[in-house]
Amino acid sequence: MASEPETPGAVAGRWHPPSSSRGVAASMRIDADGVVSVADAEGHLLKEVTLVSVEVSPRVGSIPRRLTFGDGAVFETDDNDGVDRALTPLRRGAGLIHNLELFRPRLAIFVVLVIALAAGIYRYAVPLLVEVAIAATPPVVPRLLSQSALVSLDQTVLSESKLDEPSRAALTEGFAGLAANTPRGAEGYKLNFRDGGSIGPNAFALPDGNLVLTDQLVTMMKDDREAVFGVLAHEIGHVEREHSLRQLYRAAGVTGLVLLIGGDIGSGAEDILVQGAALMSLSYSRHQEAEADRYSVELMHRAGRDPAALARFFEVMRDQFHDTAETDFLSTHPATPQRIEETRRYAEELSKEPAR
Amino acid sequence: MRREPFEFLGTAREYFGIWIVNVLLTIVTVGIYSAWAKVRRQRYFQGSTRLAGASFDYHARPMQILIGRIIVLVILAAYNLSAYFLPQIVSGIIGIAFLFAVPWFVARGLRFRARVTSYRNVRFDFTGGYGGAFLAYLLGGMLAWGTLGLLAPIASQWMWNYTLGNLRYGDRPIQCDPRLEKLYGQFVLPAVVFFAGVVLIVGLGVIAFVAAIGTDLDVENYLPSDFAVIGIIAAIYAALLPFFLLYVLVGLLYSAGTRNVALNETIIDGRHVLASNIGRWRFAWIAISNFFATIFTIGLLRPWAAVRMARYLAGATALYSAGPLDDYLSTVKDSEGVVGSEFMDIEGFDFGF
């Protein structure tokens, strides 16, 4: 590639015959009519065709430029500027992308744009996409999700409830009263009793409106049925706000975006981002818990029950499990003292308004 | 034998522009540009790698890559969702079926990558099939993990033999038969580092635990309830982090050693021999410091880090050629199998050549 171009506008490079690794020094020029000609060092013509039939590789940095001819022959050169000069009269050249990529002060603007856009996508575009996905989800999806989840739980941790029949009947009736005050109505919900086994005192909601209440939670609250209803109202809040689907879509969306950009950030940083997204989703679920707490207060109030009942459940939890941490970044739930206080405050605020 | 060193001529300055535009346009187009970004990135790195005055080139078309990526994302999404929606038995069966499909993806992906790579106007090719990929990636992986790394050299032998030994330059074969005793020779240093590291971490852990007993360590705080499961997970993460870092270091030392062994026993067309002499500690240092430099600059030093690694690897690699490099003929015309290639890309399979 060291030979001097013999004619003005000629680009020095190397010629490979069709599909061959053999390389000879050659020069290439493009005339005003768009005819590409390649000649060897002695000036013998190797190729002469119109530019339309030649594939010119886009310019990337200063890697060699490649002109591929229809038969598999290639002219290759390090002289990118020379190729661009030859192409300019024909309204072709290095291309927009290459010009953007040049090391210029404006790259600093791109850096700022990338940071702003990444934050913007995380803050606005992901929640928006999640809402769109939720709206587009047919009701069969949460039903399938819930059925398989309940079957799995029944096979592993949960077993049949040992709660006495009168307690069950009373809880079921009260629960129906709560559910009647939601947009989905009493038939949109079903309360399932289970022995919690290793998960102990617990209650959780499946996205199709099936709630699971463990015997241990009922026993733990002794005579305070109202507090149990407070917990159930909290779980209804998760269903009403479609929290599980939101969580699922959010995780899928963020992971998908990280995967697409993975090649550009390296596999180590990609793993960190995926793990980081998982950590962020913890704080997101804390936000969901707070939302469900407020929902419990509102629903209990609407149903004419004690809106602060949930706070009593938290107190029992606190005393049972000494859960006194003020804040906990890694926790899915807000710290207990804070939740008790917030629930009480909101209940008081609502009590000032008359029940519906 | 003439020694021809590999050279990497790319610069951090030049790649930074390519990289930031790649990232920006990928974000602006919600991921669609990532296919074009990948082609520009690969062309930059391969085109900047020189051997005997000529560079490598990457020929995949962005549209091919984009379609491959979409198919892979749909497959992965469907696979992950099936775990949520279908009964455990069914999703378990799908999971096993998926596992058995991985070697097929790998074989197709390696073929695609080889066929879109050229040197001196001659394309590479890859002739490995399902069986070899099954041995190298599934069985080898299970063997290495199942024996806590004791049989990892056997897995490495299968892996290098499959990925490099099935490669062809034009229509000429490439052989790669790393000997087991040499691979085991590279096993000693990582094993020693591993045991020393475990002793150190456990020792420090015991000291920390004894110190913590003195303070009010409330074990009941972590009793299982709906409210503390994540706390337990966080504690496990924190306890495992040093082991994870140790695992990464040991992995880097080992993979650098086996790369040397494998490349040094790679013969192209029965006469040209590859040579690799990367320093294991130096390689681990570059990889780890690259990672932290990238993290602490929210990615801005990533181009510098990538170029630094490429330059080091190229500089430590050479070809001993016995005869001219210019009488090879390209035989590859088509290049299907992009789905396998994108599967490997998105799932993070890596094979460094």
pLDDT tens digit sequence for B26-48:
888 878 898 999 999 999 999 99
Which residues contact residue A138 at a Cβ distance below 8 angstroms, ignoring those fewer than 6 apart? Answer: none
Q: Do residues A94 and A144 share a domain?
A: no
Q: Do residues A94 and A173 share a domain?
A: no
Q: Do residues A148 and A59 share a domain?
A: no
Residue of A113, A201, A330 lying closest to B230 (CB–CB):
A330
Position A56 in a domain:
yes
Q: Do residues A33 and A177 share a domain?
A: no
Span B106-133, mean pLDDT? 91
Domain-ending residue, one of A56, A80, A101? A101
Domain-ending residue, one of A101, A129, A156? A101
Task: Please list every residue in chain A whose beta carbon sits closer than 8 Å to the beta carbon of residue B295.
Answer: 268-269, 272
Position A207 in a domain:
yes
Residue A97 touches partner B, C-beta closer than 8 Å: yes
Confidence of residue A26 (pLDDT cuts 50, 70, 90): very high
Measured distance CA(B289)–CA(A78) in Å, rounded: 33
Measured distance CA(B220)–CA(B216) in Å, rounded: 11
Min Cα distance B295 → chain A (Å) is: 7
Position A154 in a domain:
yes
Q: Do residues A289 and A347 share a domain?
A: yes
Q: Do residues A344 and A217 share a domain?
A: yes
**Worst-scoring range by mean pLDDT, A36-50, A337-351, B196-210?**
B196-210
Residue A279 touches partner B, C-beta closer than 8 Å: no
Min Cα distance A321 → chain B (Å) is: 6
Residue A113 touches partner B, C-beta closer than 8 Å: yes
pLDDT tens digit sequence for B291-346:
889 888 888 899 999 999 999 999 999 999 888 887 788 776 655 666 767 766 65
> Which stretch of DSSP H or E encloses residue B336?
none
Q: Do residues A186 and A93 share a domain?
A: no
Measured distance CA(A128)–CA(A220) in Å, rounded: 41
Task: Please list every residue in chain B whose beta carbon sits closer than 8 Å to the beta carbon of residue A120.
Answer: none
Measured distance CA(B317)–CA(B256) in Å, rounded: 12
Position A129 in a domain:
no
Q: Do residues A92 and A148 share a domain?
A: no
Q: Do residues A186 and A318 share a domain?
A: yes
Number of domains in chain A: 2
Nearest CA in chain B to A328: B231
Amino acid type, B340: G
Position A315 in a domain:
yes
User: How many other C-beta atoms can be found within 10 angstroms of the C-beta atom of residue A210?
Assistant: 19
∠ at Cα B75 (B30, B116), nearest 5°?
75
Domain-ending residue, one of A57, A86, A101? A101
**Worst-scoring range by mean pLDDT, A52-56, A148-152, B99-103, B115-119?**
A148-152
Give residue B353's pLDDT.
Answer: 37
Confidence of residue A118 (pLDDT cuts 50, 70, 90): confident
Q: Do residues A90 and A168 share a domain?
A: no
Min Cα distance B178 → chain A (Å) is: 27
User: How many other C-beta atoms can be found within 10 angstroms of the C-beta atom of residue A48?
Assistant: 11
Q: Do residues A92 and A234 share a domain?
A: no
Chain centre distance of CA A52: 44
The residue with greater pLDDT, B10 or A204, is B10
Which residues form the domain of A333?
Answer: 137-351
CATH code, domain with A51: 2.30.29
Span B346-351, mean pLDDT? 50
Position A296 in a domain:
yes
The answer to whether residues B122 and B328 touch, using CB atoms and an 8 Å cutoff, is: yes
Position A29 in a domain:
yes
Position A126 in a domain:
no
Strand-pairing partners, residue A40, are: A26
User: Does the distance separating the beta carbons of A64 and B47 come in below 8 Å?
Assistant: yes
Give residue A140's pLDDT.
Answer: 84
Q: Do residues A83 and A177 share a domain?
A: no
Span A171-181, mean pLDDT? 92
pLDDT tens digit sequence for B128-185:
999 999 999 899 989 988 888 889 999 999 999 999 999 999 889 999 999 999 999 9
pTM: 0.80
Nearest CA in chain A to B17: A101
